Amino acid sequence: GENVEQHPSTLSVQEGDSAVIKCTYSDSASNYFPWYKQELGKRPQLIIDIRSNVGEKKDQRIAVTLNKTAKHFSLHITETQPEDSAVYFCAALLSSNTGKLIFGQGTTLQVKP
């Protein structure tokens, strides 16, 4: 079946450093890639997304890049802050028009003050 692989599973950075999380997807026809942030015990929150007609999207300290040829996309967080500590999930929308998102396994980001 279709899948999304996410790396690394854990990431620890110093406050102010950058963090990068990478995902690879298998469905070459996927055209929508969201990123979610989940704090402990809370719901996943959509923080940024990208569609296949663009290669990069930025929102303040967060950016996502997409390489359709290589079938991978990445989340970049600059000037990290302790409140960025959470689990981050990437996902890819299946091309079957069912609305099904396939999620990566998650990355636990720890930002040390």
Partner 1 sequence: DGGITQSPKYLFRKEGQNVTLSCEQNLNHDAMYWYRQDPGQGLRLIYYSQIVNDFQKGDIAEGYSVSREKKESFPLTVTSAQKNPTAFYLCASSIDSGRGEQFFGPGTRLTVL
Contacts to partner 1 by CB under 8 A: 1, 6, 32, 34, 36, 42-46, 49, 89, 93, 97-101, 103-106
- Nearest distance from residue 3's CB to partner 1, in Å? 10
Nearest-approach distance from CB 21 to partner 1, in angstroms: 13
Whether the CB-CB separation of 86 and 11 falls below 8 Å is answered with: no
Q: What is residue 100's DSSP assignment?
A: P
Helix (H/G/I), strand (E/B), else coil: 84: helix
d(CA 43, CA 11): 21
CB nearer to partner 1: pick between 78 and 95: 95
